[in-house]
């Protein structure tokens, strides 16, 4: 790890103030991605602004038809939240299947979504549930947020403060874990909300994507039979020693069908 | 003896108190005043010429104490690292032994090869400085594809080994085997890859060293499984430090699986540099370094053929193997695919004729050496895979075919056609018991039930034999070993009656402190809490060969027994004097000397006290003190054997395999502590299943980069991948060691890959899959099913 200045602000305003003008500064939430990156000397920030002390960023609230989850909310808290379990059980399930207990007790929703790892689980939920990402300056619709490999709509120094998830009529998440890392090799989040049916795939491509053909078929008939003949093209999907693009494409179909079945249970 | 803690008792592990409360002491925990820290700059290339190394900027950086490169070692006339086992090829010529410089001089030969050592006041400063070292590499093409290592034009790793051939070795008479094949009713052929593995001990390798200028003494702390052997190698071959001026201490060691047997570049450098730097040096590998530089395991490409008569009797076996040595020959590398592999190819069977040809190849990859089982898992995998394949081809039940060919219990000692003479065993009751516990009869019903859920269920056998308890010194000497393989023990009573037992074996997770203490307790009647097992320090323990090859109990335990006999013999003389009896009338039982047929007795503790305070003592006949040592050289290897049955389900849609039941019945001879043995078997099975389903060291074929260089890409088996194992024992005591014990440390890993893969093949046969290589990952299984479907469609 290279040397850096460490800060622990108490409010979002202070955090923003600390970041201002420092192009090489990085915020830290759970540190589950940032710290390994620092230890491997893959990043050399001038400053690390630890959001761990910013109380206003953590917590789960139900606001009308939405569940609003603060950026600093740990995966373990999402997984065990009675509110989340009641409103969107698939989201609690997803959070409960991220990493291991240590990771779930440190890692945060804001950190995960901001990082936009192609194999992260949350982006699937954010897109499928048509959630809205709140930052210190604006609100960003899910479809506009995830831009590409580790790339988001966030501007420099912009912080995720929370994410608002509409309640789902039906929803389920099916994850095929990478055998080694247990990140999502393919994760499919299927949701039926007021906005309609959405099928979001994480792990398979450079970033989360929707499968429109499945969405259309499921809008007409929300059953796994409705999508059993829909093939996902392998072009452009990720390929590595654990899964070829063809295998991932195939798994998207399998996980989607299983997710629909689970959502119907 | 109290039954609660003697031989055969499930005594809780003495060492767990400190391991479970975080008070174990590992090399990295060592507080050394004024310590410096080392960081090794390693090659980012698989193969490159070093045109120049410029350390000038790095040397000026804050905290830097010293920087060493390969040239410094050449100037200091430091020897290279050695391979300690000379294998003679089929023409009687010794293997090609290319130089293994401790640090690269003009060429780097694998990603991770050691290029420079930076010593600084802190670890981070050393690392910062290493980034400022400028190495000008001329990158060359790399050879990392084992199957192509001997191809014309394959990049050569060392000029001393033309065509990358270390040796072309054989055992058996090929012509006789060919004749038998010509007469066979059925021949089964099999091509397989024994996948390359990375050991991943929980504790990374570490070293620390200190030099005492006044006495010229070096102390090296190392994560070694065999500190005496490490000292011998460093003294006699590499650094030239006189043996009596070098003390090697291996404190608590957190796993090794073989990877900590060998003498490595980094610990050698830490030791050598300690006197140059003038301050202690500490180094602990980062996990990425462990992946790149710990000796890897396995890595064979094999073609095998089994000849059978019409009834399924094995007539002959023919095996051709290319074994990967990596870029340099590590300490025992040459012996692993020859004497620890081909000599095991008889398995549990009466196969009368066996021929094996093994070619060892150099590649631009990390050195490959012994890894849990070392050669024996590879041999078992070949035999048990081809036997199950033959059974399927001939439509004979897999268990039945095995039974038909088992060496009968009346045939022991049994001379195999591949040099080994099995001392004891009784295989049929083992497989019977395994089949009973696994409910083999009920399998087809379970398969049908699984099919109704869309799952493919399979069952697989593996009946293994292994030769361990390394080893009769004269036998291994005649085969080219550079060392003897006896073991030593010293039993030293203190005047107050408690006892220290010094052993040359060294635990890196095997619970010696408990098992060995149980032996002492059983034989001498000393309470468990009055016994201390001392190991891991060349200054305090007798010279011994260390822990590997499931040898510590069979060989080290036998040395302890011999020492207890000396204690008892001496004690009888002292007791006879104290009781005014004749020595012939004194018997010893459960810690008490008695005069036969009387109620006269004197406890051992009192005899010990008399020995140290010899006021009333037969000084004319017996020396004072109670401190005996013994050396034990085994008469033969020991031959644990067993049968494992794996039952699993495959999800054909995703290719995922789930193990649903796993049975292992073993003959380990007599058992000292069943709980500890079960732990060894559990760990072994998991490691073998890791090989079968999860683990693979993958190098990029073009660049030679290690792709599976972290836990993000190297799949370790995890607890939730396993059901509870069903274990059992059948005992045929070893006839030639005093405890009647065999070994248990490697058996699980030796047998399980074949059990799993036979079950995978059994499950996939109905969908037309012929062969799946290890590891049977979801991707691999799915692709195999796809391939079979395409073939069926064509
Ligand atoms: C062993 C292991 C296993 C894992 N397995 C999984 C898995 O199965 N599935 C999965 O989805 N994830 C997995 N993760 C990732 C983990 O769950 C975290 O979600 C992830 O590391 C990021 O969250 P964090 O809070 O730790 O972020 P940090 O590491 O603190 O930050 C990550 C990045 O986001 C930025 N950032 C952090 N917070 C904010 C914010 N509020 N606004 C803007 N930018 C911000 C940081 O500057 C940094 O660049 C795993 C991690 C580990 C170490």
pLDDT tens-digit readout, B416-456: 999 999 999 999 999 999 999 999 999 999 999 999 999 99
State the Cα–Cα distance between residues A83 and B349, nearest whole angstrom: 64
The pLDDT value recorded for residue B110 is: 98
Which one, of B312, B318, B302, lies nearest residue B354 by Cα? B318
The pLDDT value recorded for residue B296 is: 98
Q: How confident is the model at residue B794 (pLDDT cuts 50, 70, 90)?
A: confident
Chain A residues whose CB is inside 8 A of the B712 CB are: 180-181
Query: What is the token pair recorded at B247?
Result: 């003390």
Cis peptide before B757 (omega within 30 of 0): no
Pairing of strands B297-308, B314-326: antiparallel
A58-263 CATH fold: 3.30.465
Q: What are the pocket residues of ligand 1 if the criterion is a CB atom closer than 6 Å to any ligand atom?
A: A 26-34, 51, 71, 75, 98-99, 103, 106-108, 110-112, 114-115, 120-122, 154, 159-160, 182-183
Query: Has domain A5-55 been given CATH number 3.40.50.720?
Result: no
pLDDT digits (tens, 9 = 90+) for B480-523: 998 899 999 999 999 999 999 999 999 999 999 999 999 999 99
Question: What integer is the mean pLDDT of A152-156?
Answer: 96
What lies within 8 Å, CB to CB, of B152 at 6+ separation is none
Angle at B459 (CA atoms; ends B456, B465), nearest 5 degrees = 150
Pocket test for ligand 1, best of A30, A32, A72 (most atoms within 8 A of CB): A32
Question: What integer is the mean pLDDT of B723-738?
Answer: 97
pLDDT digits (tens, 9 = 90+) for B563-582: 999 999 999 999 999 999 99
Question: If you measure CA to CA, which chain B residue comes closest to A40?
Answer: B288
User: Is the confidence at residue A230, as pLDDT, over 90?
Assistant: yes
Residue A36: half-sphere exposure toward Cβ, Cα within 13 Å: 10
Which one, of A65, A240, A110, A37, lies nearest residue B779 by Cα? A240
Share of chain B above pLDDT 90, in %: 98
pLDDT digits (tens, 9 = 90+) for B351-368: 999 999 999 999 999 999
* A4 in contact with chain B, both atoms CB, cutoff 8 A: no
Helix axes B376-394, B398-405, angle to 10 degrees: 120
Angle at B252 (CA atoms; ends B246, B253), nearest 5 degrees = 90
State the Cα–Cα distance between residues B611 and B568, nearest whole angstrom: 13
If you average pLDDT over every residue of chain B, what do you get?
97
Q: What is the whole-number distance in angstroms between the Cα of residue A18 and the centre of ligand 1?
A: 21
Position of tokens 């975080």? B22
Q: How confident is the model at residue A210 (pLDDT cuts 50, 70, 90)?
A: very high
User: Is the confidence at residue B186, as pLDDT, over 50?
Assistant: yes
Question: What integer is the mean pLDDT of B106-116?
Answer: 98
pTM above 0.90, yes or no: yes
The pLDDT value recorded for residue A68 is: 98
For chain B, list the domains and their CATH numbers.
34-140+200-293 (3.90.1170.50), 300-470+636-793 (3.30.365.10), 486-632 (3.30.365.10)
Q: What is the whole-number distance in angstroms between the Cα of residue A30 and the centre of ligand 1?
A: 6
CA distance B266 to chain A (A): 20
Complete DSSP assignment for B340-384: TTGGGTTTTB---EEEEEEEEEE-SS--B---TTTTHHHHHHHHH
Chain B interface mutation, best of A117, A179, A182, highest count of B Cβ atoms under 10 Å: A179
Domain ranges of chain A: 5-55, 58-263
pLDDT digits (tens, 9 = 90+) for B209-266: 999 999 999 999 999 999 999 999 999 999 999 999 999 999 999 999 999 999 999 9
User: Is the confidence at residue B1, as pLDDT, over 70?
Assistant: no
Cβ–Cβ contacts within 10 Å for residue A1, how many?
13
Residue nearest to atom 16 of ligand 1 (CA): A107
Query: What is the token pair recorded at B683?
Result: 């760990």
The pLDDT value recorded for residue B2 is: 46
Cβ–Cβ contacts within 10 Å for residue B691, how many?
28
Edge-to-edge strands, sheet with A60-63: A60-63, A66-70, A160-166, A132-135, A139-141
The answer to whether the CB of B327 falls within 8 A of the CB of B333 is: no
Q: How confident is the model at residue B3 (pLDDT cuts 50, 70, 90)?
A: low
The pLDDT value recorded for residue A195 is: 86
Q: How confident is the model at residue A25 (pLDDT cuts 50, 70, 90)?
A: very high
pLDDT digits (tens, 9 = 90+) for A106-143: 999 999 999 999 999 999 999 999 999 999 999 999 99
């Amino acid at each position: 790890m290279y040397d850096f200045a460490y800060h622990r602000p108490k409010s979002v305003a202070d955090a923003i103030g600390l970041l201002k003008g420092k192009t090489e500064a990085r915020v830290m939430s759970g540190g589950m991605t940032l710290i390994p990156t620092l230890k491997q000397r893959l990043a050399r920030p001038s400053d690390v602004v630890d959001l761990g002390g910013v109380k206003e960023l953590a917590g789960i609230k139900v606001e009308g038809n939405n569940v609003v989850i603060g950026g600093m909310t740990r995966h373990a808290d999402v997984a065990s939240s009675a509110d989340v379990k009641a409103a969107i059980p698939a989201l609690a399930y997803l959070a409960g299947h991220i990493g291991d207990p240590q990771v779930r007790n440190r890692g945060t929703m804001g950190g995960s979504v901001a990082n936009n790892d192609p194999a992260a689980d949350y982006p699937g939920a954010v897109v499928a549930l048509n959630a809205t990402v709140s930052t210190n300056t604006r609100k960003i619709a899910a479809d506009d947020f995830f831009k590409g490999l580790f790339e988001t709509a966030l501007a420099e120094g912009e912080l995720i403060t929370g994410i608002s998830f509409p309640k789902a009529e039906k929803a389920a998440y099916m994850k095929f874990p990478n055998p080694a890392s247990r990140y999502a090799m393919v994760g499919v989040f299927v949701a039926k909300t007021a906005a309609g049916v959405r099928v979001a795939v994480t792990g398979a491509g450079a970033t989360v994507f929707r499968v429109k053909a499945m969405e259309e078929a499921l809008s007409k008939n929300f059953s796994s039979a409705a999508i059993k003949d829909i093939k996902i093209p392998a072009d452009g999907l990720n390929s590595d020693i654990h899964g070829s693009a063809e295998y991932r494409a195939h798994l998207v179909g399998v996980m989607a069908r299983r997710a629909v079945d689970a959502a119907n249970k | 003896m109290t039954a609660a803690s003697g031989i055969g008792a499930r005594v809780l592990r003495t060492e767990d108190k400190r391991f479970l409360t975080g008070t174990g002491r590992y090399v990295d925990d060592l507080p050394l005043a004024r310590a410096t820290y080392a960081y090794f700059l390693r090659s980012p290339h698989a193969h490159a010429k070093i045109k120049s190394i410029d350390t000038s900027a790095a040397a000026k950086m804050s905290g830097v104490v010293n920087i060493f490169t390969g040239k410094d070692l050449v100037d200091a006339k430091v020897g290279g690292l050695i391979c300690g086992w000379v294998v003679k090829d089929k023409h009687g010529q010794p293997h090609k032994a290319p130089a293994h410089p401790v640090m690269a001089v003009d060429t780097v030969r694998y990603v991770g090869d050691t290029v420079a050592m930076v010593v600084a006041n802190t670890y981070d400063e050393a690392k910062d400085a290493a980034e400022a070292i400028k190495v000008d590499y001329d990158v060359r093409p790399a050879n990392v594809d084992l199957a192509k290592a001997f191809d014309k034009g394959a990049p050569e790793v060392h000029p001393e080994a033309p065509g990358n051939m270390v040796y072309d070795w054989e055992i058996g008479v090929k012509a006789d085997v060919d004749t038998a094949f010509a007469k066979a009713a059925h021949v089964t052929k099999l091509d397989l890859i024994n996948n390359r593995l990375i050991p991943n001990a929980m504790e990374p390798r570490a070293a620390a060293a200190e030099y005492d200028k006044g006495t010229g003494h070096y102390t090296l702390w190392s994560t070694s499984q065999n500190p005496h052997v490490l000292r011998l190698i460093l003294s006699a071959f590499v650094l030239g430090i006189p043996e009596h001026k070098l003390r090697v201490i291996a404190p608590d060691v957190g796993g090794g699986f073989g990877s900590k047997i060998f003498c490595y570049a980094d610990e050698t450098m830490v030791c050598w540099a300690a006197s140059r730097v003038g301050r202690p040096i500490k180094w602990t590998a980062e996990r990425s370094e462990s992946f790149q530089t710990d000796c890897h395991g396995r890595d064979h490409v094999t073609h095998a053929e089994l000849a059978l008569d019409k009834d399924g009797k094995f007539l002959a076996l023919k095996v051709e193997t290319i074994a990967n040595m990596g870029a340099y020959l590590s300490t025992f590398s040459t012996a692993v695919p020859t004497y620890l592999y081909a000599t095991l190819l008889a398995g549990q069977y009466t196969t009368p004729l066996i021929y094996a040809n093994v070619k060892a190849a150099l590649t631009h990859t990390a050195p490959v050496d012994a890894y849990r089982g070392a050669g024996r898992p590879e041999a078992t995998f070949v035999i048990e895979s081809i036997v199950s394949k033959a059974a399927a081809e001939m439509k004979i039940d897999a268990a039945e075919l095995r039974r038909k060919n088992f060496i009968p219990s009346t045939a022991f000692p049994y001379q195999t056609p591949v040099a080994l003479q099995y001392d004891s065993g009784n295989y049929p009751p083992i497989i019977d018991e395994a089949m009973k516990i696994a409910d083999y009869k009920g399998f087809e019903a379970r398969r049908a039930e699984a099919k109704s859920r869309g799952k493919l269920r399979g069952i697989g056998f593996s009946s293994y034999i292994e030769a361990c308890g390394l080893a009769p010194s004269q036998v291994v000497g005649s085969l080219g070993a550079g060392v003897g393989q006896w073991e030593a023990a010293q039993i030293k009573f203190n005047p107050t009656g408690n006892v220290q037992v010094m052993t040359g074996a060294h635990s890196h997770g095997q619970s010696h402190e408990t098992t060995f203490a149980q032996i002492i307790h059983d034989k001498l009647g000393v309470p468990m809490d009055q016994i201390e097992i001392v190991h891991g320090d060349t200054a305090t323990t007798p010279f011994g060969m260390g822990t590997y090859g499931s040898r510590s109990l069979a060989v080290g335990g036998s040395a302890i027994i011999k020492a207890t006999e000396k204690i008892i013999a001496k004690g009888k003389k002292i007791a006879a004097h104290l009781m005014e009896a004749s020595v012939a009338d004194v018997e010893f039982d459960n810690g008490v000397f008695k005069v036969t047929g009387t109620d006269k007795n004197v406890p051992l503790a009192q005899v010990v006290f008399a020995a140290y305070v010899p006021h009333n003592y037969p000084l004319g006949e017996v020396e004072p003190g109670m401190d005996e040592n013994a050396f034990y050289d085994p008469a033969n290897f020991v031959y644990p054997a067993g049968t494992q049955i794996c039952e699993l389900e495959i999800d054909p849609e995703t290719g995922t395999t789930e193990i649903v039941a796993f049975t292992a019945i073993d003959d380990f001879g007599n058992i000292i502590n069943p709980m500890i043995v079960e732990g060894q078997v559990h760990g072994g099975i998991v490691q073998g299943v890791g090989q079968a389903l999860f683990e693979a060291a993958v190098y990029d074929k073009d660049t030679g980069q290690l792709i599976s260089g972290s836990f993000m890409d190297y799949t370790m088996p995890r607890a939730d991948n396993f059901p509870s194992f069903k274990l059992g024992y059948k005992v045929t005591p070893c006839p030639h060691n005093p405890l009647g014990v065999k070994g248990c440390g490697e058996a699980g890993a030796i047998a399980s890959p074949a059990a799993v893969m036979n079950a995978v093949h059994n499950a996939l046969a109905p969908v037309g899959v012929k062969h799946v290589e290890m590891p049977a990952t979801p991707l691999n299984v799915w692709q195999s099913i796809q391939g079979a479907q395409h073939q069926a469609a064509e």
